[in-house]
Structures are given as C-alpha cells and as structure tokens.
Amino acid sequence: MTVYNVKVKWGKEMYPGIELDTGEPPMVFKAQLFALTGVQPHRQKIMLRGTTIKDDSWADVKIKDGTMVLMMGSKEEDVPVEPTERTAFIEDLSEAERNTMLELPVGIKNLGNTCYLNAVIQCLKTVPELHSAIKEFKPKPPGTEQESSSLLTLAVDSASLLTLAVQECYKTMDDGKTAVPLVLVNLFRTTFPRFAEQGEQGMYMQQDASECWTELVRLLMQEIPADGPEKTSKEFRSSLIDQYFTGEFSCEWKCVESEEEEVTKTTDKFQQLLCHISQDVKYLHTGLVARMQEQITKKSATLDRDAVYTKKSKISRLPAYLPVEMVRFFYKEKEAVNAKILKDVKFPMVLDVYELCTPELQKKLIPNREKYKDMEERELEEERAKKRGKPITAVEKPKTRSLPFSFEDDQGSSNSGFYQLQAVLTHQGRSSSSGHYVSWIRWRGKEWLKCDDDDVTPVTEEDILKLSGGGDWHCAYILLYGPRILEVLEEEEEENKQKSSEEAKMETE
C-alpha cells in the first residue's frame, strides 16, 4: 500500500497534490474528486497514461509522485436532457420506475450483506431536518485562506467524504432512482474497518445495524452544523445531531453499603434510550421505566473500595427525535455469537415519556400537553363520522395550523413529551451478525412502507404493530420516534394570543 501525490486535470482545471492511496479502491479516489469538483463518481472517467481505471482495482497501473491523472465527466446539471416520449408499459418497468410511476419512494441496492447500512440510511432519511442538512452539506476547506490554494488539493478527510457519499445516496433517491451505494459502502468500510470483516470465502460478513447506527450518527455529529445555534441551549448547539437527537439525564447516586456517604448528582447525555428485555417486560414503557434505576459497582471515596450504588435517572432534556433500542442481543461465550431474544415486546404508535422526566421538566411540559386533548377529541370525532358513513368533508373541517414542537429557547427539543413512531429497523434471524435487516418508514399519515433494500412496498399500521417479536418474523430492533405535531384551531390560537397579550399588558401596567 502506497500513498502518492498526483496531479488531476479536469477540463481547464488543474488540481496538484491530490492524495491517491492504492490501498483503497479507485471509488474512494473518485469520492475525493467528487468533493473537489462536484462531478458525481458514476459520471467520472479516470485515465492514467492512456489507460481507463476501473472502479475496483489499481492493478497493472504504474503510479509515482507527480503523475498526471486525467478526469473526464461533467456535472449532472450541465448535461442537456433530450426530450423523448415513448409509450411505457408498467410490466416492462424496473422496480424503481414502477415506484416512481406509483409515486412510491425508492430503495437502496444491497451490495452483499449491506442491508444493515441500507436500513439505517432509510430510517435517518425520515428526519426532515437531517435529510435537508445532509443534502446541503459542503465540506469545510482545510486550513486558512492563505493555505487553501495548496491544501484544497489534499484529500478531504474520511468523515466529510462519507457524509458526501450519504448525500449522493439521498439525492439519487430523491430523484426517483434506486441508489447503488458503491462509494458509500467502500468509504464506510474504510472509515470503520471492523465493518469490512470477511468470511472464509472472502465475502463481506453481515454486521450489527445498531453499531452501524451509532457510528454513522457519531460521524454526522462531527460534520453537520447546528441549525440556528443561537436559538438552542448552549449545551446542545455543537451540531444538528446534538440539537435534535441528544437528551440529558439527571442522575442521583446512592451508595448501598454506606449510610454516611451523601447522595451525589451528575448529568449524562444520551442519543437513544435502551429497553432491556427481561421476563417481566411485555411492553416498551415497562422496559424504559426499569432502565431508569440500576445497580452499578464503582469506587467509593468513603469506603476506599468498590461498592454497590443505586443510580436513579430522570430525563432533564428531551430531544425532538428519540431512537429506542430494543436490547435483543446478548453474547454467548460457548458459541461465540450474539444470540437473539425473540420475546414479544409491544410498542405504541404514540409514545409518552412524561413519567421518565424530572419534576422541573414535567412542569415545563404541562402547558403544551394540555393542548393535545382538543386535537385528540377532534380526531376521535372524525373517526366516529367515518364509522357512521358520514366523513367530515374538507369544507366542514375547521382550519388548523401546526405549532412548534420545541421550546422557544431550545430548538431541537421536545416541548410535550409526546412522540409519534416514524421508522422501525427490524432484524430477522437468530444473531446480529447474520440474518437480514429491513427498515419500515411512515410515509403519509397512517400509510407505511417496507424498505427491504431496493424493494419498497406499501404496508399498514397493523403490519407495523406485528413487528413486536415473538417468533422468526421481523423483530423491532430500533424504534425511531419523532415529534408528535400539535394541530390547533386557527380561531382558538388567535384568541389565546390576544388573551396572552392582554394579560401581559395588565401585568406591565
């Protein structure tokens, strides 16, 4: 494996000092050029000494420092589209073309045991703030302005390249085309070598989707800046992930073995809640509550030895998006495998975590929570009207508007404690390193989609609720809950604003 500094010529542009690592596939080099030029990797043709470089190997290519590499290709928007019209028969269309015609989203091609990554990418795509930020992402130029002329030609760091690869994947899907994530998969395995593990036959092995989720979110935390940081609590404004995915625990530690030792308080950040599955856990809420109190052994300053502590946690900051991992896997030493707990654990479409919060946060949540009762009554009346055969028409339906789901001084937080399920990542099989991963995403209202790699099909809410486990069918592994949007009547909201304004005026006087 050797790293060379080469020159890249693209049209009239010249890029000296580009890093070319022959230990990585050429697709990684193409990703670097994409970061510099904006030319999508699949549109690039790389030539070296008259030889066209293939995507998978640098074999038989002689390279040395200063070698000239020719890149041919243009940005997609520069290519004129030839207007053509021809009759299309649905049976002749590909899966992606049929989905486009039926207005269904498209999926992601499985490149050989990459379903774990595909499922994570699909679930995260359901977060509109993150989706938009990734599509608008631009890597930061390295160094200062004085250095940029020379440093711009160096390889962009792997985190930025990987974020650009996710961006390319999302743009392709948004254009109605099935994503073929060659660059994404290669960069992911290069950035996180443990995901490049190969079996006896040289095939890439299946990986744990939860570990993939954790690594990808951690990387995006480094790359995606906060959205309006001045509107966010200072502890959560370092990145968009901090804003919208990070919560905070307020913890109390009590030493079980010493009455003299005082209770200590700490705070911990989290980006997902855990639901440990035991014999007593039949419902998600039960598992979450049980997790809030645990026994931990640590060094006691009073006893000058390890002692058992009771740690009680309450949530002091709720993020807008709340991933919940069902802890379904445990390590079996004898078989050396992460075995799976198949137990059926029911989960709700609407999750209420008010009980898990500190008294201070509960007090802040109450004013917004009370407004949901009116919305629920309106929805219930609409359901009753449908059952009576007299659904409420668009003319009869009162005008409503959506209220913000965050506190005014903490953008990206939850101001109610109510969440709506918007994506489920499931596993089918008996161990985390085998079987198959699939994502299930909320599409429109109560309509859902099953995203099985590049096969995307409509499903119902009833199908989603069947993912709770109990057998060899798909079992929920990660549940992604998003903000439950509050819809209020426009007339009532105007009255409330006027009333609040009058009360404020009276207080001033």
Catalytic residues: 115, 436
Helices (H), 269-328: 284-291
3-state secondary structure 306-353: EEEEEEEEEEEECECCEEEEEECEEEECCCCEEEECCCCCECCCEEEC
Using alpha carbons only, give the angle 51, 54, 57 rounded to the nearest 5 degrees.
110
Nearest to 96 by CA among 166, 176, 33: 176
Question: What is the Cα–Cα distance from 155 to 471, expressed in whole angstroms?
Answer: 48
Residue type present at position 348 = P
Judge whether 303 and 251 are in contact, CB under 8 Å: no
Question: What is the Cα–Cα distance from 160 to 220, expressed in whole angstroms?
Answer: 9
Using alpha carbons only, give the angle 303, 313, 240 rounded to the nearest 5 degrees.
125
3-state secondary structure 388-421: CCCCCCCCCCCCEEEECCCECCECCECCCCEEEE
Coil, strand, or helix at residue 273? strand
Judge whether 234 and 501 are in contact, CB under 8 Å: no
**b/e per residue, 477-506, with b = 16+ CB within 10 A?**
bbbbbbbbebebbeeeeeeeeeeeeeeeee
What would the two tokens of residue 48 be? 């070296």
List of residues 6+ apart from 376 with CB closer than 8 A: none
What would the two tokens of residue 88 be? 């299309």
Q: What share of the chain is helix, strand, coil (3-state, %, to 5)?
A: 35, 30, 35
Q: Among all chains, which residue has been given the structure tokens 């105007």?
A: 494
Backbone φ and ψ for 84, nearest 5 degrees, come out as: -135, 145
Nearest to 159 by CA among 243, 238, 220: 220
